[in-house]
Amino acid sequence: MTEVESMKIGIGDEMKPTINDPDQKKKPLKRKRLEPKLVLDNGRALLENMEKIGSFSASLNCMIACLMEESDLPLFKLVDEIFVKVKGRTGNNESVTKASAKSTVLMTGQRLCYGVASADTDILEDESECALWCWEV
């Protein structure tokens, strides 16, 4: 009969840092936190750059994804706003309609709640301020 030798996968125990002394504490991780103002400024700069992009520089899906990112609008208002900004721009034989904009929004993103929402809330259309809605790509 053949002997089977177990495989060692991953990092060996000798490589892992160990804490032997109960009084020794783990080193706290330093986290970098961005200021909310900085995040909003970067988002505004991205939107300004999106408006400067030529009609053939980016696909329609990319443009819509950039325009919807971190928006707090409900679906119907978001689609109207995006349609106004991208109508007249066609690239790669793509034509823009409200239906295509809505389809792209629903396909590429989701609306997340970062606050308090009731159980019977319509996720796509709720406008309550306490829910803190945000579109994520």
Predicted local distance difference test score (pLDDT) of residue 78: 95
Query: Which alpha helices (DSSP H) does 22-69 contain, by range?
Result: 36-52, 60-68
Q: Is the confidence at residue 35, as pLDDT, over 50?
A: yes
Whole-prediction pTM value?
0.59
CB 50 within 8 A of CB 66: yes
pLDDT in tens, 68-119: 988 999 999 999 999 998 887 665 556 788 998 999 999 999 999 988 888 8
Q: How far is CA 70 from CA 58, 76, 90, 121, 132, in A?
A: 20, 16, 24, 20, 11
Give the count of alpha carbons within 13 A of 70, CB side only. Answer: 10
pLDDT tens for 10-31 read: 555 555 555 566 666 666 655 5
